[in-house]
A and B are shown apart, each in its own frame.
Chain A
Amino acid sequence: SDKSSTDAGSGNASSGTAGDTAGQAVATDLKYPLSQTIPTLDPHLSLGGSNATVVLNVFEGLFAFNSKYEPVPMLAESYELSADGKTYTFLLRKGVKFHNGKEMKAEDVAASLNRWKDKAARAKSSFGDSQFAVQDDYTVVLNLKNPQNDTLAQLSHVLNFAGIMPKEVIDSAAPEGVNAYIGTGPFKIVEWKKDQYVHVTKFEQYQSLKTAADGFSGKKEALVNNIYFTLATDNATRFSSFLSKDFPYVDVSLDNLPKVQNQPDVQILKNLTTDFNLVFNKKSPLFSNVKNRQAVAAVLDADQILLGIVSTPDLYRLNPSYMYKENSKFYSEAGKENYNQKNPDKAKQLLKDAGYNGQVVTLLTTKDTGNFYNATLMVKDQLEKIGVKTKIDIYDYATMLTKRADPNVWDIYVGPFTMPSTPSQLLYLNPTYGFADDAKLAELLKKSTSAIKPEEIKAANDALQQYQWEYLAAVKIGDTYSYSAVRKNLTGLTLFSGFPNLANTKLLK
């Protein structure tokens, strides 16, 4: 809608290019805002948000996403997949140095990935007991029980990131995380002042790929010497700091947008950030009955809910698929007739059939972060319009997490989900998250990940999504964007689902 903003439908947004500024004086230090506290910098435990902002610039995996969510080799030179799709052989790049100066070898990779696989729920459910094994110094082998078409995506995904660390670090790790943060990325950690800032500095011995930079893949060159990831939890403070040129980048709320929108030295970026889903508690008395779930799906008006979340039509899009459109491998429109139905009559009928008689539906949410609450409020409103009694239980984030793990205290949870890239990463298809308990669903999920050929994948994925729209583990609501602002003297910044790739980023004076 506005010319100054760069629409990055792909989930990527970039500011300027690094090339056209040669000759200008550059700053050596950069301050980058963090909006939430960081519990840990252990990449395997990292949960997105502020963690990923730092972690993705310090650690690297065997693969990395490009802007189209395609896994591209990063620390892997190449890989081979056996014909049965069960054995992956990863060849590692040679001469890659850890921040401690040691060269990365297969033993490091195997140790890292085996630990990661145990820590990340999504990896565990994909790989089960399969182990990454050292074949020789530069070769790691993974033997799977079944084919897993999401293997590379899992290795690239930014949450519970499969970063490679030295074996010693892995071996000495405690349950609460590794004791040293040593990766292979273009920046190395100098100091982590808890709850204040993370100071990283250019890693001089970084071995960059020569391929073009794209998303988190390709060439990475540290163009600033120091980055201070600075915690500023207050919206207004972050924004004021941007206005006073303290931060060259900031997330911009709708309310703040006009203040930066037409500034000549500010570029507005629009990032695809999250998709919203309504998750049922399939063990709750009400929503163990699929009819009730269908009733909810029938009444939802996605436009209104999304508008309620972001307050402007510019910042959302409808999307019937559990995957982003950009994710060509898994995007599917199967079952879309059940999306955004806006059909109260049908809903009422379904409720009647299911024997609903005024039980209170508990909506679990938090106001601490994200737009959980806005979305929940809109859903509540729509449910009440068809005569469903509702109650919103708001807790702080920590309490909310614990409550959500308890099947007895909630019915519906509406929340944002960060960048699913394969169906196996959809938390709500997981029995622990919303307590889905359906053999067919599990079967279809398995099929969709074990298919190998693109047509098979497509067919399996269509079937999975079709069934989900009937089983309704969750209801997809839509995708949302957010604005951020970048000073034009900050060039080459790449944002991927809101996470910055600060390599190749240059700050002009």
Chain B
Amino acid sequence: MGTYIMKRLLALLPVIVIMSVVVFLIIYLIPGDPARVMLGDGADEETIRQLRGQMGLDLPLVEQYLRWVGGALRGDLGNSFFLKQPVSEAIAEHLQPTVSLALLAELVALAIAVPFGIRAAVRRGQFADKALTAYSLLGITIPGFLLSLFLVLLFAVRLRWLPVSGYAPLSDGLWNFLQYLILPAVSIGVVISAVIARIVRSSVLEVLNEPYVRTARSKGVSERALVYKHVLRNALIPILTVVGGTFGTLMAGAAVVETIFNIPGIGQMLVHSVERRDYAVIQGLVLFIAFVYVAVNLIVDLLYAAVDPRIRLGK
């Protein structure tokens, strides 16, 4: 197991090398200059030049890259001029909100998608199934901002149940922490649930046709136990895959919702950093996201093995 995980993490190396080169090239290609952003419209050209020198932007690209790689190998992702802190520290700070949000959103999504998807599969062609189709189409097409806006107006402005926006770390108390995350988690969760519910439906349908379901039925298992015990666990693998995929995407992909709800997460950090060309942070984040992506895949694979005893890792 340990060796397996090590091996998987080693497989990450080529991805990281590719990503780091690509991100460097992209940064080289994108016009825009962090010095100019920092100093603004009325900045003096001389000052801009100085600042660029300070930031190391006047070095040849290859040298910049090698310097950065040198640092990265020693675990140093560089410093952000804008955040005035080491990139790794900045990422660590923004991690909790994003991970919390992503977890909660997945939870919301699963809470909706699993019962709904199962019902639709069992009642194929009937009302629940059609409702699921409608729901998932709506969920996929509804623009995220509209849903968020609506939730905020209803639950925060009108009913005053929850705050409009903001974030409190878990150390501020559970309710404090949750109250800020509920609305954004629902906004994201609904959209994801639309995707997951469809997968639940189709993979449950697939499993329903398996001979061992017939065996269970022939043993006298009730419909409910049949679906929740025998079918669901076998249908879990495609569901896990999608959940893992969406979770990975949420790392950087929740930027819009994070912005709307003012959650200081990775997505917002990435958007801000791109906006102001905070190269060190962009590079660090891209690497980090790639890492998370691989880590999530790895966790999903470990879960596969937990769910399905046939899957043996290392094969």
The answer to whether A and B assemble together is yes
Q: Interface of A with B (CB < 8 Å)? A: 37, 39-40, 45-48, 118-122, 124, 159-160, 174-177, 193-196, 230-234, 236-237, 240-241, 243-244, 246, 368, 395-399, 401-403, 405, 427, 432
Partner of B156, one of A119, A244, A432: A244
The answer to whether A40 and B38 touch across the interface, beta carbons within 8 angstroms, is: yes
Nearest-neighbour CB distance to chain B for A26, whole angstroms, equals: 23
Residue of B nearest to A192 (CB): B84
Segment with Cβ contacts to A, from B66-74, B127-135, B261-269, B300-308: B261-269
Q: Say yes or no: B42 contacts A175, CB within 8 Å.
A: no
Chain A minimum-CB-distance residue to B165: A237
Q: Is the interface of B mostly helix, strand, loop or mixed?
A: helix
CB closest residue in chain A, given B55? A176
* A159 nearest in chain B by CB position: B42
Identity of the chain A residue whose Cβ is nearest the Cβ of B51 in the assembled complex: A175
Q: In the complex, A40 Cα to B38 Cα: how many Å?
A: 7
Interface string of B143-185 (1 = CB under 8 A from A): 0010001001100110010011110000000000000000000
B 53-93 to A, binary, CB cutoff 8 A, 1 in contact else 0:
11100000000000000000000000001111100001000
Binds A, one of B27-35, B98-106, B202-210, B217-225: B27-35
Given contacts A175-B54, A232-B262, A396-B275, contact A244 B38 (CB under 8 A): no
Q: With both chains docked as a complex, state the minimum distance between the C-beta of B143 and any C-beta of chain A, in angstroms.
A: 13
B43 within 8 A of A: yes
A464 CB to nearest B CB, Å? 20
B262 touching A194 by the CB < 8 A rule?
Answer: no
A45 to B90, CA, bound (A): 23
B119 within 8 A of A: no
Out of A118, A159, A240, A398, which one reaches B165, CB within 8 Å? A240
Nearest-Cβ distance from residue A481 to partner chain B, whole angstroms: 21
Q: How far is the CA of A159 from the CA of B31 in the complex (A)?
A: 25
- B126 CB–A CB distance under 8 Å: no
> What is the distance, in angstroms, from B105's C-beta to the closest C-beta of chain A?
18
Residues of A within 8 A of B312 (CB): none
Q: Which residues of A contact B40 (CB under 8 A)?
A: 39, 45-48, 159-160
A405 to B31, CA, bound (A): 11
B-side contacts of A174, CB under 8 Å: 54
Within 8 Å by CB of B259, from A196, A234, A432, lies A234
Inter-chain contact B165/A241, CB cutoff 8 Å? yes
Give me the 7 closest cross-chain CB pairs, A-B, nearest first: A47-B40, A398-B32, A175-B54, A121-B44, A399-B32, A175-B51, A402-B31
Q: Output the nearest chain B residue to A409 by Cβ-Cβ distance.
A: B31
Most buried by B among A196, A230, A231, A403: A196
| A121 with B83, Cβ < 8 A, contacts A195-B264, A195-B268, A241-B165 known | no
B272 near A: Cβ within 8 Å? yes
- Tell me whether A405 and B47 are in contact (CB under 8 A): no
Contact of A240 with B276 at beta-carbon distance under 8 Å, contacts A160-B42, A195-B268, A396-B32 already known:
no
Select from chain A the residue with minimum beta-carbon distance to B52: A175
Question: Nearest A residue to B264 by beta-carbon distance?
Answer: A196
Pick the contact of A121: B43, B50, B54, B272 (CB < 8 A). B43
**Given A176-B81, A233-B259, A237-B164, A243 and B157 contact (CB-CB distance below 8 Å):** yes
Closest to B45 in A: A432
A364 to chain B, nearest CB (A): 12
Determine the chain A residues whose CB is within 8 A of the CB of B260 once the complex forms. Answer: 234, 236-237
Min C-beta distance of B18 to chain A, whole Å: 25
Interchain CB contact under 8 A, B82 and A194: yes
The answer to the question of B198 belonging to the interface, with a C-beta cut-off of 8 Å to chain A, is no
Name the interface residues of B239-283: CB closer than 8 Å to any CB of A: 259-262, 264, 268-269, 272, 274-277
Show 8 A/B contacts (Cβ-Cβ < 8 Å), sorted by A.
A45-B40, A45-B43, A120-B44, A194-B83, A240-B156, A240-B164, A243-B164, A244-B163
Chain A residues whose CB sits within 8 angstroms of the CB of B82 once the complex forms: 39-40, 194
